Structure 1
Amino acid sequence: MAVEPLLATRAQRAFIITVSVQAIVVLVMVGITFRMVDDNVDFNLARYKTLPCYLALFALAEIFELFMAFDALRLRNIIQLLGLLPLMVFAALQVRQTKTALVMRSNCDGRDYFVECGGPGSLWTNVQPFLIVAPCVIAASWLVMLFWIKQLYAEFGWAIFHVVGANPKMKTMYQWYQIMICLLKFNFFCFTGVTMQLLIIVLQRDSAEFGVTVAAIPVVLVLLVLCGIAVQREIKWLMSISLVMMLAAMSYFPLTPAIAPMTTVLYKLVRFYQPSTQAQYETTRATLTVFTIVAFLLLFATFAVGLRCFADFDRGLQASKVNALPTRPKYFTAESSTNMSQRQSSYLGGAPVATRISIE
């Protein structure tokens, strides 16, 4: 008996509807906020340049979440579904960062500073409700998604059973493979978020750091794609190169991979907060700090899990990684339902079952 097709079950449809409604509501709130701010501020000013970048990044996060939800249902990857939940942290940071960019005066002395003040009738008080709606909607959808994830856990467990059989070791190896693929996808989003903020908001185009950051973009993207191919196809030499490149990527400076990864992360974090560069990162500090730490931890975890997956190469899992899940057709015929000898035995990893002898 094969697994259900994509979106064929009640739990799958309910989960994707929840994520879609959340994305629509949040994107509408982001659009309203952008329109209100755009009508009153000049985005060419350095202080306000952060706002369109953050709003665009937040919208990208919602689109990415929707894509990841469909992809997780397609691959029956429950770990990837759980990885969608921390988005509310980014939504909460969005509120704080927008206030930091808009509110520049704590005491307006009764004068009309519609844009710069945070009191009643100001631009901040007008956009604040729309910004608060986003984390509230995400939090409410969390509860609904957790309920359906619990339902999908049993359903996906049955799907994995069809892929790798009843062998506990094969199941564990396949779970590590799913974790690896999930980490690669989230690495892409975090890297995109950090790079977008550094290039658009912070770095000067004539600086050496700007050139290094631009040069790192294709390197990291190629790294993630090649690593995904290597772990799926179990290509040892390509996986070895990917793991070595991860060490270089964690050092942030591709041309100087000898620099210790943790030292470089600490260097970037110190630059965010030290007095000489504090003003440069003022409106981006919170988001950059979170993205930098999360990106490093994700890449470090990907390297560790990659080593674990590399150890599982040539142990009989490659066919399960490459082949798609067998899906059950919507309609059955009497002939197909009685032809048991043609079915595959999940207990034997897909080996044909011998014809049964019936005693009547």
Structure 2
Amino acid sequence: MAAEPLLSTRAQKAFVAIIAVQAIVVLVMISITFRFVAVANHVNLNDAQYKTLPCYLAIFILAEVFEMLMAFDALRLRNVIQLIGILCFQAAMLVFSSIQIHETRAALYGNTHLWHRVEPFLIVSPIVIGLSWFALMWFVRQLYHEFGWAIFHVVGANPAMKSMYEYYQIMICLLKLDFFIFVGVTMQLLIVVLDDDTAEFGLTVAAIPVVMILLIMAGYAVQREIKWLMTFSLVLMLAAQTYLSARPVRLESTWLTAVKTVYKLYRFYAPASESTYLSTRATLTTFTIVASLLLFATFGIGCKCFHDFDKGLQSSKMHGQYYKPVATQLKEAFLGN
């Protein structure tokens, strides 16, 4: 059965348009702020004090591109769970943009004129993101009614099958968010902490495609219900948390950088190392806590999905996105197509 064309309804078009307009406005505001600071006298962006601005710009470029890809993917798959995930991601962006006002002010401490010059542009970002968030809520509600029948179409009226399929969708969404968080933390560490002439810098960069492959493997395992591969993925998640909690070592050179630990949080605030993280400490703390919670959630949902293997859901996982909305099917039936 052919799939309904992407962006075939007003709600879908509006949903994507809101994210696109938000991305343009926010990135323009951040770019203007970055430009003002970059050309200011007595400001060197290579100094730890001012590195919050390159981090801010890099994270939001990544975030806006990621959110747009997530939106198209959710609409393509008619995935209500992922739409809700996008709303959660939007809320996180709102928090992050608000934190950046405080961090930029701290970075520009002593340069009152420059701070007052960039403050309006920094304030615009959380306002636009907040307004977009409420607008997206409205259209997600419409898309829920538009797509809400999809799980019924895929797995039928069996409540147990519906629940298992929803957990599968949550797992896939969490894996995508895990990748964003990993790349986000790695980008911040590359900008703030590491020197580009060290072996650790190269290993950290190399870790990005490695983690991407590992997350794709986990998604492939849960979709195809490959038990040994899923077991391997779950063991890695659990080992990451245990290892990170027990070993106070530098982990930026491995894929475990995706999740920071209590020890890493301690390093952000410890007198011996706080100067390194001073201008981005709040952001790194937020990313660290969210990353750890996401990994725990991914592990828990992954165990539930593993428990649901071999219960008749694999075909739905493989082909569930291919369907037409009820209205289209009724119209075709009425016209005799």
Query: Which category of TM-score, normalised to the shorter sequence, fits these structures?
Result: 0.7 to 0.9
Aligned residues of 1:159 and 1:325 also touching (Cα < 8 A): no
Q: Which residue of 2 aligns with 1:285?
A: 281
Q: Which amino acid aligns with 2:66?
A: F
Aligned residues of 1:220 and 1:249 also touching (Cα < 8 A): no
Aligned residues of 1:251 and 1:264 also touching (Cα < 8 A): no
User: Which of 57, 60, 63 is 2:62 aligned to?
Assistant: 60
Q: Aligned-pair distance for 1:186?
A: 0.5
Q: Which amino acid aligns with 1:289?
A: T
Give matches, 1:142-157, under 5 Å: 142-157=133-148
Taking a change above 3 Å as real, the CA distance of residues 335 and 298 of structure 1, as seen in their structure-2 partners, is closer
Q: Aligned-pair distance for 1:280?
A: 1.5
Taking a change above 3 Å as real, the CA distance of residues 223 and 337 of structure 1, as seen in their structure-2 partners, is same
Query: Scaled by the length of structure 2, what TM-score is found?
Result: 0.85
Aligned residues of 1:2 and 1:328 also touching (Cα < 8 A): no
For 1:20 and 1:264, the matched residues in 2 are separated by: 31
For 1:331 and 1:154, the matched residues in 2 are separated by: 14
Is 1:96–2:102 an aligned residue pair? Answer: yes
Root mean square deviation, CA, Å: 3.1
Secondary structure in 2 aligned to 1:43?
coil
Q: Aligned-pair distance for 1:211?
A: 7.2
Taking a change above 3 Å as real, the CA distance of residues 334 and 44 of structure 1, as seen in their structure-2 partners, is closer
* Cα shift readout 1:313-357 (whole Å, capped 9, x = no counterpart): 1111111111132236998999965769xxxxxxxxxxxxxxxxx
Identity of aligned pairs, percent? 60
Give matches, 1:348-359, under 5 Å: none
Q: Which runs of 5+ in 2 are unaligned?
A: 249-255
Q: Which residue of 2 aligns with 1:356?
A: none
Q: Which residue of 1 aligns with 2:324?
A: 327
Q: Aligned-pair distance for 1:205?
A: 6.1
Q: Which amino acid aligns with 2:105?
A: K
For 1:2 and 1:302, the matched residues in 2 are separated by: 32
Taking a change above 3 Å as real, the CA distance of residues 308 and 334 of structure 1, as seen in their structure-2 partners, is closer
Aligned residues of 2:55 and 2:188 also touching (Cα < 8 A): yes
For 1:214 and 1:338, the matched residues in 2 are separated by: 56
Secondary structure in 1 aligned to 2:149?
helix
**Number of residue pairs aligned between Structure 1 and Structure 2:** 321
The structure with the largest alpha-carbon Rg is 1
* Cα shift readout 1:54-109 (whole Å, capped 9, x = no counterpart): 21111211111111111111122222222223221111112122112122x2xxxx
For 2:282 and 2:330, the matched residues in 1 are separated by: 60
Aligned residues of 2:260 and 2:291 also touching (Cα < 8 A): no
Is 1:236–2:255 an aligned residue pair? Answer: no
Is 1:26–2:26 an aligned residue pair? Answer: yes
Aligned residues of 2:167 and 2:304 also touching (Cα < 8 A): yes
For 1:3 and 1:217, the matched residues in 2 are separated by: 33
Q: Which residue of 2 aligns with 1:9?
A: 9
Q: Aligned-pair distance for 1:17?
A: 1.3
Taking a change above 3 Å as real, the CA distance of residues 335 and 214 of structure 1, as seen in their structure-2 partners, is closer
Give matches, 1:293-312, under 5 Å: 293-312=289-308
Aligned residues of 2:54 and 2:191 also touching (Cα < 8 A): no
For 1:218 and 1:252, the matched residues in 2 are separated by: 21
For 2:4 and 2:155, the matched residues in 1 are separated by: 17
Q: Aligned-pair distance for 1:158?
A: 1.3
Q: Which has the higher helix share?
A: 2
Which has the larger displacement, 299-308 or 190-199?
A: 190-199
Secondary structure in 1 aligned to 2:50?
coil
User: Which of 168, 177, 181 is 2:168 aligned to?
Assistant: 177
Q: Which runs of 5+ in 1 are unaligned?
A: 106-116, 341-360
* Cα shift readout 1:266-312 (whole Å, capped 9, x = no counterpart): 11111111111121111111000000110111011001000000111
Taking a change above 3 Å as real, the CA distance of residues 2 and 164 of structure 1, as seen in their structure-2 partners, is farther
For 2:24 and 2:215, the matched residues in 1 are separated by: 29
For 1:305 and 1:332, the matched residues in 2 are separated by: 34
Aligned residues of 1:212 and 1:253 also touching (Cα < 8 A): no
Aligned residues of 1:162 and 1:325 also touching (Cα < 8 A): no
Aligned residues of 2:11 and 2:142 also touching (Cα < 8 A): yes
For 1:177 and 1:150, the matched residues in 2 are separated by: 21
Query: Scaled by the length of structure 1, what TM-score is found?
Result: 0.80
Taking a change above 3 Å as real, the CA distance of residues 316 and 45 of structure 1, as seen in their structure-2 partners, is same
Q: Aligned-pair distance for 1:33?
A: 1.4
User: Which of 57, 65, 71 is 1:69 aligned to?
Assistant: 71
Taking a change above 3 Å as real, the CA distance of residues 319 and 39 of structure 1, as seen in their structure-2 partners, is same
Aligned residues of 2:225 and 2:314 also touching (Cα < 8 A): yes
Aligned residues of 1:26 and 1:137 also touching (Cα < 8 A): yes
Q: Aligned-pair distance for 1:50?
A: 3.1
Taking a change above 3 Å as real, the CA distance of residues 129 and 264 of structure 1, as seen in their structure-2 partners, is closer
Q: Structure 1 runs of 4+ off > 4 angstroms?
A: 1-4, 204-216, 251-257, 328-340
Taking a change above 3 Å as real, the CA distance of residues 207 and 300 of structure 1, as seen in their structure-2 partners, is farther
Q: Aligned-pair distance for 1:249?
A: 2.9
